[in-house]
Structure 1
Amino acid sequence: MNPAVWVERHGRRRRDEPAIAEGERVHATWGAWAARTASLAGGLRGELGLAPGDRVAIVMRNRPAYLEAMYAVWHAGLVAVPVNARLHPHEFAYILGHSRTSVVLTDEEHAEDLAPLVESVDTLREVVVTPGDRWDRIASAAMVPVADLGTDSPAWLFYTSGTTGRPKGATLTAGNLLMASLSYFADIDAVAPQDAILHAAPLSHGSGLYGLPHVARGATSVLPESGGVDPAELAALLGRWPGTSFFAAPTMVKRLAADPVVAEAARAHLKTIIYGGAPMYLADLEDALDAFGPKLAQIYGQGETPMTITALSKADHAERDHPRWRDRLQSVGFPRTDVEVGVVDGDDGPVPVGEVGEVVVRGAVVMAGYWDAPEASAETLRGGWLHTGDMGSFDDEGYLTLRDRAKDLIISGGMNIYPREVEEALLHHPGVRAAAVVGRADEEWGESVVAFVVPMDDAAPPTPEELDRTCLERIARYKRPKDYRVVDALPTNNYGKVLKRELREQLSATDAGKEPGSGA
């Protein structure tokens, strides 16, 4: 089923009701959004000459045009490639080239970085900027009917990085998106037309995915005018749009819970905060429950199974009298309705309750595979199960607790940072012989990036300023290390693999005010 059908249906049935809001102002009714979507789709197919299955990237900050673009892409039978707008131009170039994107839809803030890529990315025909004359011409094309998207048709290439540091495109089909939306209704929340979804987190990732069930049910999609998370603005929007839900990283939840104005507005008007993407400390979660009331639901998922593996429901959060309430709060919840979840050993055999193994998932929500990466797809989906790379264990009630991450992922401020890509950037410095990157607990951001650097023999160690410049030439600013440690050598095993656990132990010992291995 094509997700654009939802916009068309509400455009007929609820023509004059609000569909998209920018701040407190209605940007488009359902009738206007449906007409805009059909015209943009006509322009993509006619003016730009795109054919079903062609890839169209969207690189914008959160704004009404983002939603118009995404649903127009699907309306036209094309494949959306939503890209994190905070990435570096080199990262944009890789994703556009790897996905063989034909057209980029962007805004003025990112046009300067993207326009030159028409010359370097072979398949890229055009970069269309909104607002602009070209965008307006496309948007005024003759309307076309909603294209047929079969269950197995690619709809969203969700770019997520792996241990190699190179982003991989999880191919999410129309069937995957439909199942993720239905699972939301089954396990997270019912949604009514008078509700709203606030997009304070990037539409290219979790917020965009959780927007789908809200569009399906005709709720209003609200885009903050600030483009981000401003507590005063958020409090006002909760008053303007009662029944609002939003997706947030744990660090955002913690920040908002500490604001008394937001807490008061949330208790009166908030419907649900869906949090996930990183661990949340128990003390912070209890503070948030005290501030907001029982309005939190946790999800555990990945781009490969669009944010749908387990959930800790609002009822679980509210059940303070349960003898294992705090244990449950430290879990990631219970398997979702539409998936089977297992924990396996190194030979993919099931492990007993209470024992740690790799978390695996199967079900109709799991991706078709990685785009143009058959070997990676076969490895990740071996035996018919998605191998998440996360280590966890079930308790005897069926709640899953994550114990470690096999992929060394660092999550800072809700953003995924993969050590290998930072290490590769550091190795471009002529004074760096080796580098290893790990995460360190950070009260504000969840985790911060720390780099251990081995200088070239007989060379002065590079300064932090030099290393910063090297990183910023190649990766997004939020991925650069916050701390550099110059060392003589990196700890390795007999096969030469860097032992990052030892590096984390060194950090922990240093942060505790003692020398690594001192026993103090």
Structure 2
Amino acid sequence: MNPAEWLLRSARKTPDAPALLHGVEVVASYGAFAERAGRIAKALREEWGVWPGDRVALFMANSPTYLELLYGIWFAGAVAVPINYKLHPREATHIVDDAQARVVFVDGARAGVASFLGGEEGASVVTPEILAGELPRHTAMDAPHPMRAEDLAWLFYTSGTTGRPKGVMLTIANLHAMVFAYFVDVDAVHREDAALYAAPMSHGAGLYNFMHVLRGARHVVPVSGGFDPSEIADLAPRLGNVSMFAAPTMVRRLCDYAARSGYDGEGIRTIVYGGGPMYVADIERAVAQFGPRFVQIYGQGESPMTITALSRETIAERSHPRWRERLGSVGLAHSCVEVRVADEAGHPVLAGETGEILVRGASVMAGYWRNPDATAETLRDGWLWTGDLGALDEDGYLTLKDRSKDVIISGGTNIYPREVEEALLTCAGVREVSVVGRAEPEWGEEVVAFVVAMEEEGLEPDQLDAHCRSQIARFKRPRHYVFLEELPKNTYGKVLKGELRRMADEVAGRG
């Protein structure tokens, strides 16, 4: 069933209920939300030739309009391609091109992406001004285009160890499984609730819109468009019953603010955290400051938000003899999936032993867009091979041990070393480069680049930093550059990243 049907049902049930808010200001009721989504669908069809199954990209920061566009896309039976608004326009353009998107919606800050799109065959770039000029000319579509369980609904771009973006194909059935598992495994949702979008709507925070649309709850975008602890502390008591998705670094920043200001979490009902490692001491501190408001989830784009969950009861309780061990886990398997920890052949390992985490179930992606080789490598015999290492205890609690991929997670956002390395290798004077992550208290991890310069070139960190900013998103650029005469390698010529991580830690210790 088309997700736009959920919006239409809530609009019919409570047409005057507040739906979209900018801060505390209501900008659309459910009736207006659905009507505007229907108009967007009609404009997509008649002005830009978007038909069912076509891809429509969104390269925008958080705003109430974001949700209207998402539901307009689905109303038309098309496929949403949300793009991280922090990406460089060159990176966003690669995604638009790979998805073969017919339209890309951009906000003012990202309108420059048009200069990277090629020729008449490229996507149409639609700004808020263009959209505002078109919508009055169109009536809303009568009903959402019918969509089947196997139809593609959300194309989520992630990256593997090679750093090449891959489009994760999420079907209607995948999204249904994620939504219904949320109600069972994560949290209840009520009409009086408010979903606060302080994390990017192109990622997990945006996926959690469905549950709140189904229940006819409020959707709130902070005026800042992002995460500001003081803004949240002001908004939450005025809104009441706030639920939000947060990366661990956001939880830490909210705790720091609370310690300074005395804010006690008033108005916040649930914080779902995930997207990176949460240290036991940090979640203990958070519960001590705010009480039992926290739920942890572990997932990937390939099984969106649905691998395991650690309940608020488990996080808050201290009576179990292994409560601290459980607090350091990522919880139990979601009700819609099976989770296995396996050896290289896919055979389950014993409880407590480390292996690769495998997932099978209704939320697992259909595959990678136009990438059969990557699909075959990742989906084997019905199991999703996550690339993450972990261990299951005898009660089914999963603990993450490490990532078999070299992904760096900073502030809850994945940074892929190969992308940074490829950018640096295009800088004049760079002969070799290898990028690793090292622990950083505020953001979880930070990027460190080890650079070997050509003998005749003198390179400076500022020069490399400026080059990176011209090629990739600012948040991906290295925070530190270490110059070496050569990279450590094994006898097969493979760079020893473990050795580089040790060196990065030594540099931090001296700094």
TM-score (norm 1): 0.95
Q: Which residue of 1 aligns with 2:82?
A: 82
Deviations 1:346-383 (A, max 9, x none): 11111111111100101010000000000100110011
Q: Which residue of 1 aligns with 2:28?
A: 28
Aligned residues of 2:89 and 2:110 also touching (Cα < 8 A): no
1:207 to 190, 205, 208: 205
Q: Say whether residues 1:58 and 2:55 are aligned partners.
A: no
Q: Which residue of 2 aligns with 1:225?
A: 223
1:132-151 equivalences under 5 Å are: 132-138=129-135, 140-144=137-141, 145-151=143-149
- How far the C-alpha of 1:260 sits from its partner, in A, is 2.6
Q: Which residue of 2 aligns with 1:248?
A: 246
Q: Which residue of 2 aligns with 1:116?
A: 115
1:166 to 164, 173, 182: 164
Aligned residues of 2:90 and 2:113 also touching (Cα < 8 A): no
1:334-349 equivalences under 5 Å are: 334-349=332-347
Residues of 1 paired with 2:7 and 2:235: CA distance?
Answer: 23
Q: Say whether residues 1:473 and 2:473 are aligned partners.
A: no
Residues of 2 paired with 1:87 and 1:267: CA distance?
Answer: 32
- How far the C-alpha of 1:286 sits from its partner, in A, is 1.1
Aligned residues of 1:344 and 1:359 also touching (Cα < 8 A): yes
Q: Which residue of 1 aligns with 2:282?
A: 284
Deviations 1:153-181 (A, max 9, x none): 00000000111111101000011111101
Residues of 1 paired with 2:260 and 2:44: CA distance?
Answer: 41
Deviations 1:27-56 (A, max 9, x none): 100011011111111111112221111100
Q: Say whether residues 1:505 and 2:502 are aligned partners.
A: yes
Residues paired across the two proteins, number: 510
Aligned residues of 1:22 and 1:224 also touching (Cα < 8 A): yes
Deviations 1:290-334 (A, max 9, x none): 111011011100001011100111011111122211111111111
Aligned residues of 1:235 and 1:261 also touching (Cα < 8 A): no
Aligned residues of 1:296 and 1:314 also touching (Cα < 8 A): yes
Residues of 1 paired with 2:262 and 2:210: CA distance?
Answer: 28
Amino acid at match of 1:61: A
Q: Which residue of 2 aligns with 1:317?
A: 315
| Cα distance change of structure 1 residues 198 and 134 upon mapping to structure 2, 3 Å threshold | closer
Amino acid at match of 2:417: P
| Cα distance change of structure 1 residues 7 and 197 upon mapping to structure 2, 3 Å threshold | same
Aligned residues of 1:461 and 1:486 also touching (Cα < 8 A): no
Residues of 2 paired with 1:217 and 1:461: CA distance?
Answer: 60
Runs of 4+ residues over 4 Å off in structure 1 = 261-266
1:480-495 equivalences under 5 Å are: 480-495=477-492
Residues of 2 paired with 1:468 and 1:334: CA distance?
Answer: 42
Aligned residues of 1:351 and 1:357 also touching (Cα < 8 A): yes
Q: Which residue of 1 aligns with 2:214?
A: 216
- How far the C-alpha of 1:123 sits from its partner, in A, is 4.2
- How far the C-alpha of 1:138 sits from its partner, in A, is 3.4
Aligned residues of 2:90 and 2:116 also touching (Cα < 8 A): no
Amino acid at match of 1:276: G
Q: Which residue of 2 aligns with 1:126?
A: 124
Deviations 1:101-137 (A, max 9, x none): 11011111111x22223435x643411111x144431
| Cα distance change of structure 1 residues 470 and 36 upon mapping to structure 2, 3 Å threshold | same
| Cα distance change of structure 1 residues 97 and 215 upon mapping to structure 2, 3 Å threshold | same
Q: Say whether residues 1:447 and 2:445 are aligned partners.
A: yes
Residues of 1 paired with 2:495 and 2:474: CA distance?
Answer: 25
Aligned residues of 1:59 and 1:106 also touching (Cα < 8 A): yes
Q: What's the secondary structure of 2:249's corresponding residue? A: helix
Residues of 1 paired with 2:440 and 2:234: CA distance?
Answer: 30
| Cα distance change of structure 1 residues 483 and 320 upon mapping to structure 2, 3 Å threshold | same
Residues of 2 paired with 1:461 and 1:292: CA distance?
Answer: 52
Deviates more, 1:365-374 or 1:427-436: 427-436
Q: Which residue of 2 aligns with 1:155?
A: 153
1:330 to 323, 328, 331: 328
Residues of 1 paired with 2:175 and 2:262: CA distance?
Answer: 34
Aligned residues of 2:420 and 2:476 also touching (Cα < 8 A): yes
Identity %: 52
Q: Which residue of 1 aligns with 2:292?
A: 294
Residues of 1 paired with 2:202 and 2:10: CA distance?
Answer: 23
Q: What's the secondary structure of 2:173's corresponding residue? A: helix
Residues of 1 paired with 2:509 and 2:263: CA distance?
Answer: 39
TM-score (norm 2): 0.97
Q: Which residue of 2 aligns with 1:389?
A: 387
Residues of 1 paired with 2:63 and 2:259: CA distance?
Answer: 25
Query: Gaps (5+ residues) in structure 2?
Result: none
Q: Say whether residues 1:401 and 2:407 are aligned partners.
A: no
Amino acid at match of 1:325: W
Residues of 2 paired with 1:267 and 1:128: CA distance?
Answer: 39
- Over the residues paired in the alignment, what is the CA RMSD in angstroms? 1.5
Q: What's the secondary structure of 1:430's corresponding residue? A: coil
Residues of 2 paired with 1:9 and 1:262: CA distance?
Answer: 44
Amino acid at match of 1:80: A
- How far the C-alpha of 1:266 sits from its partner, in A, is 5.2
Deviations 1:384-413 (A, max 9, x none): 100100001111111111111011110111
- How far the C-alpha of 1:509 sits from its partner, in A, is 3.2
Residues of 1 paired with 2:12 and 2:416: CA distance?
Answer: 45
Residues of 1 paired with 2:305 and 2:495: CA distance?
Answer: 31
Aligned residues of 1:128 and 1:135 also touching (Cα < 8 A): no
Amino acid at match of 1:431: G
Q: Which residue of 2 aligns with 1:19?
A: 19
Residues of 2 paired with 1:7 and 1:240: CA distance?
Answer: 25
Amino acid at match of 1:117: F
Residues of 2 paired with 1:261 and 1:33: CA distance?
Answer: 38
1:40-51 equivalences under 5 Å are: 40-51=40-51
Residues of 1 paired with 2:218 and 2:45: CA distance?
Answer: 28
